[in-house]
Amino acid sequence: MLFAVTTVLAAASVAPAEKTPAAARAVVERYYAAIAHRDFGRAYRLWSDNGRASGKTLHGFTRGFTQTADTRVFTAPPVNGDAAAGSVFVTVPVRVEARLKSGLRQRFAGRYVLRRVNDVPGATAEQLRWHIMSARLTPIR
């Protein structure tokens, strides 16, 4: 599996919604860029339902990163561009490297599932953007 690390500029977060799987991949990269810049509110809002799909409140989400000094994500090309009931889903494979404030290094592998509403009449601009639906990360050595 080919992974690439990407540096994402802050301006990318205001780009218009794109339909491509590559745009979903860019959301995961922006998510980790926001975490690296300690902009937890922006990272939280990349989850569906204005962050609620993360399973945490914004406060709880932010607390989850209090010991994180830095983090990087390596993404692979998206897979499974499935459509169902007016939505499109894409899976983005990732490898994550994090360093805690204690100096401990952590590595994870897994995937993010992103969703956007298909181009249905009445869909809002927000619904047409890719959002993180779920994440599954497993520690690796």
Q: Tell whether the model's pLDDT for residue 48 goes beyond 60.
A: yes
User: For position 26, what pLDDT does the model report?
Assistant: 97
pTM, 2 dp: 0.85
- Domain extent, residue 72, equals 4-140
Number of domains in the chain: 1
Distance CA(50)–CA(88), nearest Å, equals 18
Higher-pLDDT residue of 68, 12: 68
Higher-pLDDT residue of 9, 105: 105
User: For position 121, what pLDDT does the model report?
Assistant: 85
The CATH number of residue 106's host domain is 3.10.450.50
